[in-house]
Amino acid sequence: MRWRSDLLSGLIAAGAGVAAGELLAAAARPGASPVLSVGAAVIDATPTPVKEFAVRTAGTADKPLLLTGIAILTALLAAALGIAARRRPLWGVLGFAAFGVAGAVAAVTRPGAESADVLPSALAGLLAAVALTALTALRPGTAPPAEAPTAAGHEPTAAGHEPDAAGHDLTTADHDPATPEHERTTATANLSGERSRRGFLTTATALSVGAVVAGGLTGLLRRRATSSLAESRAAVRLPAPAEPAPPLPPGTPPDFLTRNADFYRVDTALTVPRIDPADWRLRIHGMVRNPVTLSLDDLLRRRTVERFLTLTCVSNEVGGPYTGTARWLGVPLAALLDELGVDPGADQLVARGADGMTIGTPTRIVRDGRDAMLAVGMNGEPLPVTHGFPVRMLTPGLYGYAGSCKWITELELTTFAAYDAYWVERGWAAEGPAKTASRIDRPAPFTRLESGTNATISGVAWALHTGIASVEVQIDDGPWQAATVLPPPSDDTWVQWRLPWKPAPGGHTLRVRATDRAGAVQTDARATPFPDGATGRHTISVSAV
Instruction: Note the pLDDT of residue 8.
Output: 92
The percent helix, strand, coil of the chain (3-state, each to 5) is 40, 20, 40
CATH of domain 437-544: 2.60.40.650
Q: Measure the CA–CA gap between 386 and 373, rounded to whole angstroms.
A: 18
Among 285, 283, 282, 306, which residue's Cα sits nearest to residue 296? 282
Q: Helix 118-138 crosses helix 89-108 at what angle (to 10 degrees)?
A: 170
**Do strands 539-544 and 448-449 pair parallel, antiparallel, or not at all (unpaired)?**
parallel
DSSP E strands in 342-443: the ranges are 348-353, 358-362, 373-378, 381-382, 392-394, 408-414, 437-442
What residue ranges of the chain are covered by domains with CATH 3.90.420.10?
Answer: 254-425
pLDDT for residue 170: 41
pTM: 0.82
Task: Render each residue's pLDDT in the chain as its tens digit; 545 residues.
Answer: 567 888 999 999 999 999 999 999 999 888 899 998 998 888 888 887 887 777 777 776 777 888 888 899 999 999 999 999 988 889 999 999 999 999 999 999 887 788 999 999 999 999 999 999 999 888 765 544 444 444 444 444 444 444 444 444 444 444 444 555 555 555 554 555 566 778 888 999 999 999 999 999 999 999 999 899 999 999 999 999 999 999 999 999 999 999 999 999 998 888 889 999 999 999 999 999 999 999 999 999 999 999 999 999 999 999 999 999 999 999 999 999 999 999 999 999 999 999 999 999 999 999 999 999 999 999 999 999 999 999 999 999 999 999 999 999 999 999 999 999 999 999 999 999 999 999 999 999 999 999 999 999 999 999 999 999 999 999 999 999 999 999 999 999 999 999 999 999 999 999 999 999 999 999 999 999 999 999 999 999 999 99
Give me the residues paired with residue 392 across strands.
375
Q: Hey, how many other C-beta atoms are within 10 angstroms of the C-beta on 474? A: 16
Neighbours of 185 (CB within 10 A): 12
CB 366 within 8 A of CB 325: no
Helix axes 34-45, 2-28, angle to 10 degrees: 90
Predicted pLDDT of residue 163: 47
Collapse the DSSP code of 451 into the 3-class scheme (helix H, G, I; strand E, B; otherwise coil) and give the result. Answer: coil
Q: Outline which parts of the chain fall under CATH 2.60.40.650.
A: 437-544
**Phi, psi at 290, each rounded to 5°:** -125, 80
Spatial contact of 533 and 314, defined as CB atoms under 8 Å apart: yes
Q: What is the pLDDT of residue 161?
A: 45
Please state the three-class secondary structure of 513-537 as a single string. EEEECCCCECCCCCECCCCCCCECC
| Confidence (pLDDT) at 138 | 83
Q: For the domain with range 254-425, which CATH number is right: 1.10.760.10, 2.60.40.10, 3.90.420.10, 3.40.190.10?
A: 3.90.420.10
CA–CA separation, 6 and 9 (whole Å): 5
Per DSSP, the chain holds a count of helices (H) and strands (E) of 12, 19
